[in-house]
């Protein structure tokens, strides 16, 4: 009996620090969740878990006292659920993504977003100035399919009808149109993201050209005395859609800067690290494209009052600013 007690004391003294460290990490997870762990603790958790399982196996084989066995079995069970247990429901993942991961990734890429927004704004100003100076620029900038009858040859009355006429019996068309807008705009955004690895250069060109097209249209309507009307028509969905485009461009610039400026990491390693954050931004931007498509396909034509259109756009912009500025602050920024 004395020999078993001595073996138990020696066994416990040699391994107790490992058990205590694992116990501390498991307790922290149980109280505050896995996201409260530091990178070092995440690395140590599976190592400590395997070491504790090994201790439990040895303790059983040499028949140590029941107290040590009970403690190790309990600790191993608790650690098992931390390492291999249920990871949460789909709803839980979606909620965490929308309330923490997505806004945190956008805040971390805020300077890339600023650059993307400046490129878009520069294109808008350039396109507007070119069309105001010479309306022939409009045909060079805006594809015929996208113009939809909005050309310099159209009268102010015709352009006004496009901006204000209700859908009437064509409401079914709005459903198809919203679906088309979602897939088209999401495709452009993902293209910006996908080409980002080429040092971000294609992203610069795509954003500036998108701005040119919008600016050409504002210049056209300004020449007909309809600039406030067009901006209001665009504002309903534009604050959301242009934000989504800028987010995709920012994600592409994140990839480009990861390749161009790898820092202390290799380019491949830095691209892997930054690619995760960029992917979160793009996934969230696709959701914004969906919201924008619904606004563009339905609210923009169903709401014909200019004040209401401006109000919808401004409220949407303020809501997005509050969301990205406040959601999940302090939990996972950076």
pLDDT in tens, 226-254: 999 889 888 888 889 899 999 999 999 99
Is 333 a residue whose pLDDT tops 50?
no
Judge contact between 216 and 141, C-beta under 8 A: yes
Q: Where are the alpha helices (DSSP H) in the chain?
A: 2-32, 39-61, 66-83, 90-96, 102-108, 110-133, 137-141, 144-147, 156-164, 171-194, 201-223, 227-260, 267-294, 300-302, 306-326
- Using a 10 angstrom Cβ sphere, with 0-12 exposed, 13-18 middle and 19 or more buried, the burial of residue 87 is exposed
Separation between Cα atoms, residue 121 and residue 214, nearest integer Å:
10
> Which tokens belong to 326?
């406040």
Specify the pLDDT at position 89.
59
Separation between Cα atoms, residue 49 and residue 122, nearest integer Å:
56
90-47-87 Cα angle (round to 5): 5
pTM here is: 0.69
Judge contact between 298 and 187, C-beta under 8 A: no
- Least-confidence region, from 6-15, 167-176, 209-218: 167-176
Please, what is the average pLDDT of the chain?
81
């Amino acid at each position: 009996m004395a020999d078993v007690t001595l073996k138990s004391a020696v066994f416990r003294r040699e391994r107790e620090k490992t058990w205590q460290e694992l116990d501390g990490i498991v307790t922290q997870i149980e109280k505050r969740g896995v996201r409260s762990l530091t990178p070092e603790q995440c690395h140590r958790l599976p190592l400590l878990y395997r070491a504790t399982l090994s201790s439990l196996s040895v303790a059983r084989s040499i028949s140590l006292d029941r107290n040590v066995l009970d403690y190790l079995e309990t600790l191993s069970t608790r650690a098992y659920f931390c390492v291999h247990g249920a990871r949460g429901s789909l709803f839980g993942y979606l909620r965490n993504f929308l309330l923490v991961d997505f806004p945190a990734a956008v805040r971390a890429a805020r300077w890339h977003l600023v650059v993307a927004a400046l490129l878009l704004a520069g294109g808008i100003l350039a396109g507007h100035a070119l069309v105001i100076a010479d309306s022939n620029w409009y045909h060079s900038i805006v594809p015929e399919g996208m113009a939809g009858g909005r050309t310099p040859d159209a009268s102010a009355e015709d352009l006004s009808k496009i901006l204000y006429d209700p859908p009437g019996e064509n409401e079914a068309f709005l459903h198809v149109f919203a679906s088309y807008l979602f897939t088209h705009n999401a495709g452009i955004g993902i293209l910006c993201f996908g080409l980002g690895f080429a040092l971000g250069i294609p992203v610069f060109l795509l954003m500036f050209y998108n701005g040119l097209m919008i600016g050409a249209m504002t210049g056209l309507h300004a020449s007909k005395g309809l600039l406030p009307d067009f901006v209001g028509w665009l504002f309903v969905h534009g604050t959301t859609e242009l934000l989504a485009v800028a987010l995709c461009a920012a994600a592409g610039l994140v990839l480009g800067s990861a390749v161009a400026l790898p820092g202390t990491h290799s380019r491949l390693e830095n691209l892997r690290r930054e690619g995760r954050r960029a992917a979160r931004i793009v996934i969230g931007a696709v959701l914004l494209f969906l919201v924008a498509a619904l606004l563009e396909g339905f609210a923009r034509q169903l709401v014909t009052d200019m004040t209401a259109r401006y109000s919808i756009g401004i409220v949407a912009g303020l809501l997005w600013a509050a969301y990205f500025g406040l959601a999940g602050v302090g939990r996972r920024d950076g």
